[in-house]
Amino acid sequence: MTKLSVNINKIATLRNARGGNVPNVVKVALDCETFGAQGITVHPRPDERHIRRADVYELRPLLHTEFNIEGYPAPDFIDLVTKVKPHQVTLVPDSPDQITSNAGWDTKTHASFLAEVLDAFKHAGIRTSVFVAADTEMVEYAARAGADRVELYTEPYASLYPQNPETAIAPFLEAATAARNLGLGLNAGHDLNLQNLNYLYRHIPWIDEVSIGHALVSDALYLGLERTVHAYLDCLR
């Protein structure tokens, strides 16, 4: 079964826009679990413009499902993750001022750096995932660096899906097959939504986890959070 991990960054963005604690990030995370989500994802950035370090510490002992922390492995991020010890850390190649993750790692160029960071997290008992494009070479070098999983950057799939689903899925199926053959776990995320998620799942049913935030929170404005979480879970059946 492919797990749904809800990225709650946008909830924190809304809270931070007004100050105070409305909406309550922790309550939303726990509600998502109650409604059936099998994981929670956060992406704490250096400027804390959405998820704050304090949120990460507060969430860890309260969550009952898998906790995934994603981010660029700068020293402060490494320190946070090794102290909090989530179930999974996902490494993304973001610059500090980046609006959102919009590219995967060049795992060949950064192989030695990634290997060092991945080793530190694995020694801390944390499962590791590396954010990559749907490129078999990038998947292969992630495996060489010691990753437990790769997360496929699915924005290109989502962009092309409305025009040509078969063409859109092709490189992702190839990369996913390569990951499976290399013994890597497989995650996916970015711009997945209620229109394109089921097609991805039906063609790559061995995906371990999808991480979805922006689209899910946007849908919840119309459908309500509980109904929205159920709708996304339905796409993974």
Choose, from 33, 43, 140, 151, the residue flagged as catalytic: 43
Is residue 70 annotated as part of the catalytic site, yes or no?
yes
Q: What angle do CA 101, 106, 112 make, to 5 degrees?
A: 120
**Closest to 5 in 3D by CA, of 235, 234, 200, 229:** 229
DSSP conformational letter for 44: -
Structure tokens at 138: 């990038």
Q: What CA–CA distances, in Å, run from 11 to 39, 180, 195?
A: 15, 33, 22
Beta carbons within 10 angstroms of residue 62's beta carbon: 13
Residue 68, phi then psi, degrees to nearest 5: -120, 125
Q: Known catalytic residue: 43?
A: yes
Of the residues 33, 66, 151, 190, only one is catalytic, namely 190
Catalytic residue among 66, 70, 140, 151: 70
Yes or no: say if 179 and 144 are a contact pair by the CB < 8 Å rule.
no
Question: How many CB atoms lie under 10 A from the CB of residue 107?
Answer: 28
> Catalytic residue positions?
43, 70, 190
